[in-house]
Amino acid sequence: MHPAPRLRAVSATALIVFFSFALHAHGSGKEPRGSVDWTGGFVVGIGYGTAKPSGNKVTDRLNAVRAAEVTAQRALAEAVHGVRIDGAMVMREAIREYVLESRVQGVIRGAQKVREEVSWDGGTPMATVELRVCLAADSPGCRPGASLMEIVASGRRNEPSYVPAERYDRGTGSPGLPGAAVPVTGTVVPGDGPPSQMSPVSYDSSRPVTGLLLLVEGVRFERELFPVVVTRGEGGKFLAVYSAKSVRPEVVRSRGVARYADTLQQAMHHPLVGDNPLVLLVTEVARPNMLVLRSEGAKAVRETIRHANDYLSEAKVVVAGR
């Protein structure tokens, strides 16, 4: 059987089984909710369920919890399918392209239950269940083999076509961007002022840089599993500075390509970037969702990963900003 018909057959079977169970969840009065917590590193699904009183409270409680689990799985599946993989694809599309449906379904079925609550309205149980799937394997509480990054990384073959083939030179020079010393402002201290007043390049040059912190300010950036960072070379041509190709494959599978924080202060305390991150202010996002560094920012990256300090290959990167 060819892959496409097989996928349709699996999908149809899964839907039939799902809806046969979902009927028992009706009557809870609440809609299931799914969301992606990029800062926490997981996808969550919250479901509600109830059960018709039978006179046996133990059985009724179990039935209500099972119904809530079914709706939580539905909410989790919807949220997982909407996770942005890169600038051109969401998980729903990646599942089709890389034939990952069975693996994603397995992760959803085996999702970690982080909350189970049951209240009673007279003799009727009202259950709430919260399920969670990790974005990356080293997310808190994640089980090996149960993260979305592990699944997607195993299926991806090449970087998306929009990623510049020419990369910013990691050596001593680059076309149109000669290697030169980068002025620094010293270590960034949270609370020093609004991001708009920050220097575009900040770090303590007297010590080795421990990670990269990209502060996105004044522009819209969609969080994704495989972010791409570029700069402009001669004639405005984009050059790739950082992408999944910069990271060791085993690190991509376990840690991913980048983590996210909502604020500068939160990012500065993220253990991934250490105590002396290179902080770059990003004020431009190019289609289809690429973070654009100024030339001085790209030079700072190049200079600080030299001398056996390639923190990019370890994906010690945090993107901050909503």
- pTM of structure: 0.83
Please report the pLDDT score of residue 237 as a whole number.
Answer: 96
Cα–Cα distance for residue pair 93/81, rounded to 1 Å? 8
Strands (E), the chain: 33-37, 42-50, 84-86, 89-90, 112-121, 124-134, 201-202, 211-216, 229-232, 238-242, 259-261, 277-282, 285-286, 290-293, 317-320
- Local structure of 264: helix, strand or coil: helix
Collapsing DSSP to helix, strand or coil, 34 comes out as strand
Q: Where are the domains of the chain?
A: 3-155, 195-320
Give which of 199, 227, 200 is closest to 297, Cα–Cα.
Answer: 200
CA distance linking residue 180 with residue 195, whole number of Å: 25
Verify cis geometry, omega within 30 degrees of 0, for the bond prior to 194: no
Q: 154 Cβ partners below 8 Å, 6+ apart?
A: 253
Supply the pLDDT for residue 181: 40
Rounded to 5°, angle at Cα 229 from 167 and 37:
145
Are 280 and 215 contacting, i.e. CB atoms less than 8 angstroms apart? yes
Residue with tokens 């290179």: 278
Retrieve residue 117's tokens: 């609550």
- Weakly modelled stretches of the chain, pLDDT under 70: 1-29, 170-197
What length does the chain have? 322
CA 266 to each of CA 171, 189, 269, 314, 320: distance values in angstroms, whole numbers, following the listed order? 32, 12, 5, 20, 8
Residue 196 confidence (pLDDT): 56
70/63 Cα distance (integer angstroms): 11
